[in-house]
Structure 1
């Protein structure tokens, strides 16, 4: 029942960007959404958005937004998050792992050794934090008899994108999704890595606004942050969800399969033809 309606959801890294959009889209389905992040007040971060503002927007969209200030680089903080969910709800239906540390130098041109070593922060808040959240969430998901974990990712897990730090982080998230799915399969919990397209987040909008003519074509094909949330809703309603578990899937293609559009009525394109097929893995299992 929790995957179809009356959902309890945790969306990590939802002060802004993809996480905020996903939280809003799932809130619009009437879900209880725990919104996590570190930003308490406007101005605390270089980009707009706070945990409380997102939670309020989730409630305004028709759900119940619950703000939780959580540092996903700190395991104790993550543990407290899921203890709170357990006490207040007694269950968890969907976990969306989205919290990621993105350094401003990530998109700078040049080889990796000319960029700050701090770019590897996305291995800690990104790769490792996804693992930690899933580990702490597991007892709640197992108790349901069904569940869904989404790890947000990108084509950077397959191609050169922003350099080796970013690529390694995304490739690891994709492989973790595949391997977690094997462990969760006997318990009817699906784990899926979703490749998102170019997102109209606060970060990218700032770039577009600086040179609107240069990026006009990209804006026309970009996804809103809510788009992935709509796709996740579609996955949760899929009667054959477990057939997709362990997969690295392209969000735009899932939307086409489910007959979904973005909130602006557009159908964002898949970038498979340009970037290539999603990563696949061998079927052998070595304990």
Structure 2
């Protein structure tokens, strides 16, 4: 699948899912702008993870063109200036936007980890209310701004793809109140902007990866020898058997290459569902579990013996999952 000649933006791409998506877009031949904060402001400088410029170089090595741009997605003036540069440098062309930047797990170490994992189990009324801004300023407000500026470039050309990287946290309670509210709002952002952009042939979707083996997940859930941490065994095993960071990237490339992608606009798409539909596997040759897989759900609940009796292809229909979360 070739995306040669296409211009893409992936926000928050110095590592994790954003990096994986950017690498796959580059491998497909796209020119990929990747954003992140300056090194002295990012987690990279604290724990020695792959930097934005190194990711851009890897994109170019894989056959695309990687362009790193330092953008603080808490600062909407910087965000606007970034899109102005895209418009100027490419005569208004923008084909793909992937909203992935997320402060809740990418801020400085002592803030980011506490923002989600170290506040798990604590009631919202006992948590510093500023956790809302930590999680949803970049992870929601910024996505709205980026979507506005991207749409202004895509609408005159009557085509485009906008992908909001979300999660099943928008379905029912997960981690904390601020996280779930933000993810459900992001899914609603995809659905509602899709309504207004449909007549302009611009596809907008939410993408739900499964458990992804990001650099932070490895640090959080694994022992130094690579085995799952005993005190959080259940969660650690889910991530140990999860997707690589590039599997969501293969999903985005397949969607961008699909001439019938408008049939999916406004929808929530699960990465493994797209893998099954488009026929791709992970970069390690494996097929990750599906969030709708009955065996995956049973394992997540700790019912390993029962889960082993259920084939991986047995999945809950989407309507049933939504019905189970409905408050009507």
With structure 1 as the length reference, what TM-score do the two structures score? 0.90
Structure 1 residue matching 2:189: 3-state secondary structure = helix
Q: Distance in 2 between matches of 1:16 and 1:116?
A: 27
Equivalent of residue 168 in structure 1, options 166, 181, 184: 181
The answer to whether the 8 Å contact 1:39/1:49 transfers is no
Equivalent of residue 210 in structure 1, options 220, 223, 233: 223
The answer to whether the 8 Å contact 2:4/2:31 transfers is no
By how many angstroms is 1:45 displaced?
A: 4.2
Change (3 A) 1:6 1:72: same
Which residue is equivalent to 1:104? Answer: 113
* CA-to-aligned-CA distance 1:39-90 (integer Å, 9 cap, x gap): 4368534461322121111111211110110011111101111111112122
Which residue is equivalent to 1:85? Answer: 86
Q: Distance in 1 between matches of 2:237 and 2:21?
A: 24
Which ranges in structure 2 are unaligned for 5 or more consecutive residues? 105-111, 301-315, 324-328
Is 1:143 the counterpart of 2:144? The answer is no
Which residue is equivalent to 2:273? Answer: 253
* CA-to-aligned-CA distance 1:5-35 (integer Å, 9 cap, x gap): 4210000011111111110111111110001
Q: How does 1:122-161 map to 2 (within 5 A)?
A: 122-161=135-174
Q: Distance in 1 between matches of 2:184 and 2:48?
A: 26
* CA-to-aligned-CA distance 1:174-225 (integer Å, 9 cap, x gap): 0000000011111100000011111111110102333724456324531111
Structure 1 residue matching 2:34: 3-state secondary structure = strand
Structure 2 residue matching 1:82: 3-state secondary structure = helix
* CA-to-aligned-CA distance 1:228-267 (integer Å, 9 cap, x gap): 1100111112222111000011111111110011111111
Q: Distance in 1 between matches of 2:135 and 2:155?
A: 28
Is 1:117 the counterpart of 2:129? The answer is yes
The answer to whether the 8 Å contact 1:11/1:97 transfers is yes
Structure 2 residue matching 1:44: 3-state secondary structure = helix
Q: Distance in 2 between matches of 1:280 and 1:130?
A: 24
Change (3 A) 1:194 1:148: same
Change (3 A) 1:243 1:19: same
Q: Distance in 1 between matches of 2:261 and 2:166?
A: 19
By how many angstroms is 1:125 displaced?
A: 0.4
Change (3 A) 1:29 1:46: same
Which residue is equivalent to 2:24? Answer: 25
The answer to whether the 8 Å contact 1:174/1:248 transfers is yes
Which ranges in structure 1 are unaligned for 5 or more consecutive residues? 282-287
Change (3 A) 1:266 1:153: same
The answer to whether the 8 Å contact 2:27/2:63 transfers is yes
Structure 1 residue matching 2:13: 3-state secondary structure = coil
By how many angstroms is 1:122 displaced?
A: 1.8
Q: Distance in 2 between matches of 1:28 and 1:175?
A: 31
Which consecutive aligned stretches of 4+ in structure 1 deviate over 4 angstroms post-superposition? 278-281
Equivalent of residue 97 in structure 2, options 95, 98, 118: 95
Structure 2 residue matching 1:243: 3-state secondary structure = helix
